[in-house]
Structure 1
Amino acid sequence: MEGRISAARARAALRRLPVWAPPVALALFLGVRHLGRPLLWRDELASWSAARRSAGQLWGLLDHVDAVSGAYYFLLHGWIQLFSGSAVGLRLPSVLATAATAGLTALVGRQIFGARAGLWAGILFAFVPTVLRYAQEARSYALADTAVLFATWQLVLLLDRKGPRPRGRTAWAWAGYGATLVLVGLLHLVGLSVLAAHAWLLVTRRRDAWRGFAVAVALAVLALSPLMLFGQDQSDRQLGWVPRPGLTAVPGMLHDLTASWPVTAALLLLAAVGAARRPGLVYLPVPLLPVFVVWIGSQGAHSFWVQRYLLFVVPLWTVLAGAGAERLPWSRWTAPASVLLVGALAFTSLRSESQPFAHTDTDWHAGAAVIADGYRAGDAIVPERGPGAPYMTDLGISYYLPPTIHPRDLFVSVPAVARDDLLASECARPASCLHDAPRIWVVGYGHTLSPLTGLPRAQQSALTAYYRLTEIRYVNNLTLGLLTRKS
């Protein structure tokens, strides 16, 4: 008898649990687990390079590159002053933001489809492998997702309010929504494509609220216009590598948004079940419209068709999938079973997202360890930067070297910080920059017979004229060589 009472009390306590709590707890658990295990990749190294500069140096950087990431860089700059620049420290804001997004997904789902549907939506979001991938990345995408979902939740609450409301309070509510839109743009301008989905919610839920919506959007765009102009000036460097998508790119994006075909198929199936009834069918364009807006916008001078730029679509998608789970026959049992099935389908991908080479196949840690083990005072380093310096080999090795070891970057004429850039300038005449270094560590990108292979010819000539290769080591995607001066 006592056992039955205890079980009944436990069930009652679970029913009183806020709908957002389980998704938040799950996202936090998955995000914090093995947070420091994946090696930092190029974009995370750029975040670290920017965040550790002074406020003045950071302003100088944003005047030349990455202005659209400026808000995130300043946030991370303050964060590492309080915590640390370790991989865990750099990535923790993204984990916390992802947990908040999971909770907001549940709240949006509850507001539109009911409490249980919201619960399933938040849990499904936390199970998506790409969500974990960007929860464990020191970039702004997870934070932008949070801002998008918070704006969506604010809008749905505004549209669903019943009865008269004091005009002043309504104006403040719309001002809060507009302020969140500004935050979306500051964290990632592509996130503003969610306005297409918000306009659809306005049309289908409360058309007479269009004045407040229009004013909030107009003021947000006006506030963001300087950033948009800066971003436009820097767009060639920021987006020149992104190809223009064709129609066949859309199915590929559906996979890329989850990084798992089984998870994609399961979420599409649940979303189809959710859309089989009128409320779900009305909601269906919400996760689709931002994708089509970005696809259309990518047909112009610059393409924005990058999976991580559209990550905010995933929670909008799982809101409908959560509704589908709750609309399955015998949903008391089949809804949680379907959500757990998605978790099982995602299990292998979730594990792989937290492996050391989940973000990059370059073992900066092992390469730095080789140099640290053999380092002598006065040693210099020559990292292969590649055409246009895309490899960031200098940052990768520098990040993982012990703080007491600082080999001089031999061919750097103007450091990146002095240039207000992420990239350093190299000597036009390498032979004049050798400075009688007794030993030089050369770090080549990829595996080659000689670590000098990828260096510019002038650097190769200067090094081979005065130095000989005495040691060569290989680690994942790096070739390291030790050069000693010829007698």
Structure 2
Amino acid sequence: MAVNRVTPVGDTQDPHATPGSWFGSLRVIRWVREHWLLPILLLAAAVRFYDLTAAAVWGDEGSSLLLAQYSLGEIWHHAAFDVHPPLYFMLLHGWIELFGDGILAIRSLSALAGIAAVGLGIWLVDRLATRRAAMLAGLLLALLPTAVRYSQEVRMYSLLGLLLIAATLALVYWIRRPQRHRYLVFYALLMGAAFYTHYFAVLAALCHWIYLGVIRVQRGYRFRHIQRPAWWLANLAIVVLYLPWLPNLLDLTQHMEQLKVGGDVGWEPPVTLSSLPSMIWSWLIQDDGENLPVAVFAALPLALLALAAVAVIRDRSVSRGSVLLALYTGLPLVLVFAVSFITPVFIERYLTAYALGLPLLAALAIDRLYSRVRVLALAVLMSLVGVEWVGVSNNATVDSNDQLDRVVNYVNLHFQAGDQIITSDMLWYLSYVYYDRTGAHVRLFTPPAADGHSTRPNDYGFGTLVTADVYLDSLAELAGSPRVWLIGTFGDSGEFPSLPKTWQSSGEVHAGGVQARLFVSKAAAE
């Protein structure tokens, strides 16, 4: 009788040597194939938590931390005068209550949201296509440089991406089972939260509506979901959820000029035709690419456009999920680009939530190419991974010794009771106060303009976060102070003109593009 047994490769050798390691490798490969989600999530976590604390808190992050110090009611009030809704700041407030305000703790909120977004992106593609496409999507999304970058900042962009991908997933589930109204409940809650996180969430809602319109009029099987009362009621619920904030939004739109004066909007340079491909390069390598040869500069965006076309054209599913991802990725990009010719708002971080659709769409295309031209599919995959790795490496290029916190720590170390600390710019002020350990009343220098009008921020934008006693209009007010620290760039802009003649420089330190200079009155020096 024949005995069924597996004969190891190299049976003549020691069974505990090469064959053992070979079968061990096979077990690892089999485990990864069966548990592929965990390695991808670990990769997403690794690139997001790597050097998470290396870069110093910058101005926008500092504004998040200042706003999060207020009570929930005060956050609601102050956010009404800011350019962003209040939900993220409220969550950050609770997060700090639980885990403290250390830089690792405060940035972990965004990092964890970014990792969760990778998991939901995989889930979304798994619902729309094959398991292989989901694995590819996970790999490309885990390494997406713009997503990695904004998963490492104390801002709302990572949270927005998580909410919008989750809402899109809920929409897909509802389309498949429209009788399950709980999916629309999840959709309404998630989109409502997204609207309270960032105003650009409206672009996702627009994409969802257009997608339902497309699958309603497509040839063959037509989905009538856009006509269902449940869909309209869900969107009405979103409006109702947003009604408490609507007066604040309307007031904000009426005071855009005040925001421009304060520098919170309108600071972005005008867009050009090259701005659109530059955004794609920024998403993928964290560089605008405008120093590249023209052929190379145009090649990547065109290649991605071709991949999107492959994903859409070769989509044989009745629900046309690739159209949903194409709209989610491309429509906000094009709309914001077009609007920016009127009001420049074409800013990478504002669009990062929509950049999450790019690797998902590319994964669909690669999966469909693989069924016919495997070599081409693998070449495209490796090329994209290589490009993304360049961006991830650029993100990780941070010199921790050349950061603002080095300047502040120097002042903390050499501070003496009675010293005055003056910053030259609101963004320096917002980040400086996070690291300040002196207990001093850090102030912001706001000298009158040449025509005499005040340069103090108004009550909109960052100006709502500080009280009037923070502002200092003239250095002459400090002429009697024995020691004064001036924090700024000290460039040709003349941030600190007309230093009192009674001051003499006593020391300085510079890092992170900013300097701290100590001035001592001559009388005190003598």
TM-score band, normalised by the shorter chain? 0.7 to 0.9
1:400 aligns with 2:435: yes
Report the CA distance between 1:253 and its aligned residue. 2.6
Q: In structure 1, what is the Cα distance between the partners aligned to 2:73 and 2:175?
A: 43
Once the two structures are superposed, residues 203-254 of structure 1 have per-residue CA deviations (whole angstroms, 9 ceiling, x without a partner) of: 3446322223232223213422443442343352143334564655333332
Residue segments in structure 2 that go unaligned for 5+ positions in a row: 1-7, 9-18, 216-221, 290-295, 447-455
1:444 aligns with 2:508: no
Q: Which of 208, 212, 229 is the aligned partner of 2:224? A: 208
Once the two structures are superposed, residues 282-323 of structure 1 have per-residue CA deviations (whole angstroms, 9 ceiling, x without a partner) of: 4544422222343455566x5432221111222222222001
Residues 218 and 257 of structure 1, relative CA distance in 2, 3 Å threshold: farther
Q: In structure 1, what is the Cα distance between the partners aligned to 2:444 and 2:161?
A: 41
1:307 aligns with 2:307: no
Once the two structures are superposed, residues 45-97 of structure 1 have per-residue CA deviations (whole angstroms, 9 ceiling, x without a partner) of: 1111212234454344224334x331111111111111122222111111111
- In structure 1, what is the equivalent of residue 449 of structure 2? none
- In structure 1, what is the equivalent of residue 367 of structure 2? 326
Q: In structure 1, what is the Cα distance between the partners aligned to 2:510 and 2:27?
A: 60
1:49-198 alignment to 2 at 5 Å? 49-66=66-83, 68-161=84-177, 165=179, 170-198=180-208
Alignment partner of 1:441: what SS? strand
Residues 253 and 415 of structure 1, relative CA distance in 2, 3 Å threshold: closer
Alignment partner of 1:207: what SS? coil
Q: Tell me which amino acid in the other structure corresponds to 1:48.
A: L
- In structure 1, what is the equivalent of residue 45 of structure 2? 28
TM-score (norm 1): 0.82
Report the CA distance between 1:32 and its aligned residue. 0.8
Residue segments in structure 1 that go unaligned for 5+ positions in a row: none
Q: Tell me which amino acid in the other structure corresponds to 1:150.
A: A
1:409 aligns with 2:445: no
Once the two structures are superposed, residues 402-439 of structure 1 have per-residue CA deviations (whole angstroms, 9 ceiling, x without a partner) of: x3x2334367899999x9823453245654466x4321
Once the two structures are superposed, residues 92-140 of structure 1 have per-residue CA deviations (whole angstroms, 9 ceiling, x without a partner) of: 1111111111111111111112111111112111222111111111100
Q: Which of 464, 483, 486 is the aligned partner of 1:421? A: 464
Is the contact made by 2:85 and 2:199 (CA closer than 8 Å) also made in structure 1? no
1:356-435 alignment to 2 at 5 Å? 356=398, 363-385=403-425, 389=426, 392-401=427-436, 403=437, 405-409=438-442, 421-425=464-468, 426-428=471-473, 431-432=476-477
Residues 275 and 27 of structure 1, relative CA distance in 2, 3 Å threshold: same
Report the CA distance between 1:255 and its aligned residue. 2.4
Is the contact made by 1:271 and 1:322 (CA closer than 8 Å) also made in structure 2? no
* Worse overlay, 82-91 or 2-11: 2-11
Q: In structure 2, what is the Cα distance between the partners aligned to 1:47 and 1:325?
A: 39
1:447-466 alignment to 2 at 5 Å? 447=491, 453-455=494-496, 460=498, 463-466=499-502
Residues 62 and 195 of structure 1, relative CA distance in 2, 3 Å threshold: closer
Q: For the aligned residues, what is the CA RMSD?
A: 3.4
Q: In structure 2, what is the Cα distance between the partners aligned to 1:221 and 1:116?
A: 38
- In structure 2, what is the equivalent of residue 484 of structure 1? 520
1:268-283 alignment to 2 at 5 Å? 268=305, 270-279=307-316, 282-283=323-324
Report the CA distance between 1:143 and its aligned residue. 0.4
Q: Which of 239, 252, 258 is the aligned partner of 2:278? A: 252
Percentage identity across paired residues of the two chains: 24
- In structure 1, what is the equivalent of residue 12 of structure 2? none
- In structure 1, what is the equivalent of residue 293 of structure 2? none
Q: In structure 2, what is the Cα distance between the partners aligned to 1:215 and 1:200?
A: 17
Report the CA distance between 1:483 and its aligned residue. 1.3
Q: Tell me which amino acid in the other structure corresponds to 1:319.
A: L
Q: In structure 1, what is the Cα distance between the partners aligned to 2:65 and 2:266?
A: 23
Q: Tell me which amino acid in the other structure corresponds to 1:87.
A: I
- In structure 2, what is the equivalent of residue 199 of structure 1? 209
Q: In structure 1, what is the Cα distance between the partners aligned to 2:60 and 2:282?
A: 18
* Bigger Cα Rg: 2
- In structure 1, what is the equivalent of residue 390 of structure 2? 348
Is the contact made by 1:472 and 1:481 (CA closer than 8 Å) also made in structure 2? yes
1:287 aligns with 2:329: yes
Q: Tell me which amino acid in the other structure corresponds to 2:521.
A: R
Q: In structure 2, what is the Cα distance between the partners aligned to 1:285 and 1:72?
A: 26
Residues 111 and 59 of structure 1, relative CA distance in 2, 3 Å threshold: closer
- In structure 1, what is the equivalent of residue 60 of structure 2? 43
Q: In structure 2, what is the Cα distance between the partners aligned to 1:420 and 1:72?
A: 19
Q: Tell me which amino acid in the other structure corresponds to 2:127.
A: Q
Q: In structure 1, what is the Cα distance between the partners aligned to 2:507 and 2:341?
A: 50
Q: In structure 2, what is the Cα distance between the partners aligned to 1:411 and 1:294?
A: 34
Residues 181 and 408 of structure 1, relative CA distance in 2, 3 Å threshold: closer
Residues 63 and 147 of structure 1, relative CA distance in 2, 3 Å threshold: closer
Q: Tell me which amino acid in the other structure corresponds to 1:409.
A: V
Q: In structure 2, what is the Cα distance between the partners aligned to 1:410 and 1:9?
A: 62
Instruction: Give the paired residue count.
Output: 459
Is the contact made by 2:122 and 2:134 (CA closer than 8 Å) also made in structure 1? yes
TM-score (norm 2): 0.77
Residues 255 and 217 of structure 1, relative CA distance in 2, 3 Å threshold: farther
Report the CA distance between 1:37 and its aligned residue. 0.7
* Worse overlay, 319-328 or 56-65: 56-65
